Amino acid sequence: MTLSLDYATLSDVGRVRRNNEDSAYAGPHLLLLADGMGGAAAGEVASAAAVQVIRRLDTADIGGEDMIEALAGAVHRANERLSELVEEDPEREGMGSTVTALMFDGKQLGLAHLGDSRAYRMRDGQLFQLSHDHTFVQSLVDEGRISQEEAFSHPHRNLILRVLDGRPDSDPDLEMLDVQAGDRLMLCSDGLPDYVSNDVIAASMASGTPDSVVVELITHALEAGSNDNVTCVVADVVETEPASGVTPQLVGAAAELAQGSTGRGEPTVAVRTGGPDGSGGAGGAGQGTAVDPEELRYAPRPPKRFPWLRRITVLVVILVLLGGGAWFGYSWTQKQYYVGTDGDYVAIYKGVDAEIPGISLSSVYERQPLLVDKLPTYSRQQVEGDIQAENLAGARSIVAELQQTAAECAKVKPTPKPSTKPGTPPVSTPPVSTPPASKPPVTTPAPTKASTTPTGPSVNPEDCDGVR
């Protein structure tokens, strides 16, 4: 069985404000409410922009669990749109908007919520709040520090902790909800529940048509002394064709801006409470103040003034860090030394044997009068592959050792070994006789092999292999 929505929506600027910062939309597949904030920082622009982006979800093409993904994507796109609007006009810095949306596929509801606007469901005479307020006071209730009754009159009940404001951390609550014929759904801005109790709201929603209910709820808020814009969306879940038809309804700032209005009224200079004459009344507290309460709705956050200057500063800091790191690295390379070759000669190099496109990290520091060819094979290979040194003194010490090796190898001359032909007996020298003496004659045989006595340095000739 496919169900339908019979809906109505209404927005009132209220008895105090001169511009409406609320926006709402109602259609066959989407109920949406956005409460802009920021006072002179264009809260009406924020709510209207959010509604204009998210209202595209009013389609029968999306259903089931896909509604959650669609809602999340739409809220993020709306957040990006707010960021773009601030970029276009820095005076809008600080604006934001709540978002509460119910997407309907005929069988289920998908809820997306961010801020302190609310979503309710009336079923079998019982009123139930579907959304969870993202406010400081609600956090106190959740922690058990105050009661729900105390929250209703708390002086900071409008202080919002999460809101759609163009920042990257604006993630909404998302939830799938069941729905059945006879359910009555209601979305409202904080101008209603901040001044009207749940009992009165439940009594108003218990009977009447959606059109009459939105009028009655807003009337209750104004009579209770609400100093804010008041907006309501009411929809009945029905099995028949909806009496409201399928034409979408758009109210509040979104409707005004769509009709060509600037959407910016004169700033509120005094907050009045009570009746239309501003003389005070139930819930009144005197003449008011020159400070717009909408300016105080956000939780304290660092100001985001001059975003272009901040971005330039961040860029400069990054460039300085990168430049400083590059200079530190280059300076370190110029304190390194190694022994290598410079043409046919041994040389001491300053730097490291590496290259960055367009930048050489080493240069010849000292060219030595030592030919590479005068070194034995092993030493020559070491030099050609570069010999790292701890410092300049170490490099010079390496060169000195190489020069000593070359000098010692230059003095070494290979001594040929005597060769003996096969079949030729060794030549022997006959013994030499000496005249008789007091000692018997001694015969000294001649050595059978030639012998040499080394006269050069103590270097193994084999270690000098490859010297040219």
pLDDT at 211: 97
Q: What is the pLDDT of residue 17?
A: 83
pLDDT of residue 293: 56
* Alpha-carbon span 361 to 337, nearest angstrom: 11
Burial of 147: CB neighbours in 10 Å, binned 0-12, 13-18, 19+: exposed
Could you give the dihedral angle defined by the CA atoms of residues 24, 26, 31 and 34, in that order, rounded to the nearest 10 degrees?
A: -10
| Structure tokens belonging to residue 90 | 């820095």
**pLDDT given at position 455:** 40
pLDDT in tens, the chain (468 residues): 689 999 999 999 998 888 899 999 999 999 999 999 875 558 999 999 999 999 999 999 999 999 999 999 999 999 999 999 999 988 888 899 999 999 999 999 999 999 999 999 999 999 999 999 999 998 999 899 988 888 878 888 778 899 998 888 889 999 999 999 999 999 999 999 999 999 999 999 999 999 999 999 999 999 999 889 999 999 999 999 998 889 999 999 999 887 654 443 333 233 333 333 433 333 333 334 445 555 556 554 554 445 566 678 888 889 888 888 878 777 888 888 999 898 889 999 988 877 777 677 888 888 888 888 888 888 888 888 889 888 888 888 998 988 888 888 877 755 455 554 555 555 454 554 444 544 455 444 444 444 343 444 455 666 787 777
pLDDT at residue 47, rounded to an integer? 96
- Three-state secondary structure of the chain: CCCEEEEEEEEECCCCCCCCCEEEEECCCEEEEEEEECHHHCHHHHHHHHHHHHHHHCCCCCCCCHHHHHHHHHHHHHHHHHHHHHHHCHHHCCCEECEEEEEECCCEEEEEEECCCEEEEEECCEEEECCCCCEHHHHHHHCCCCCHHHHHCCCCCCCECCCECCCCCCCCEEEEEECCCCCEEEEECCCCCCCCCHHHHHHHHCCCCHHHHHHHHHHHHHHCCCCCCEEEEEEEEECCCCCCCCCCEEEEHHHHHHCCCCCCCCCCCCCCCECCCCCECCCCCCCCCCCCHHHHCECCCCCCCCHHHHHHHHHHHHHHHHHHHHHHHHHHHCCCEEEEEECCEEEEEEEEEEEECCEEEEEEEEEEEEEHHHCCHHHHHHHHCCEEECCHHHHHHHHHHHHHHHHHHHHCCCCCCCCCCCCCCCCCCCCCCCCCCCCCCCCCCCCCCCCCCCCCCCCCHHHHCCCC
Q: What is the pTM of this model?
A: 0.60
pLDDT of residue 308: 62
Q: How long a stretch of residues is the chain?
A: 468
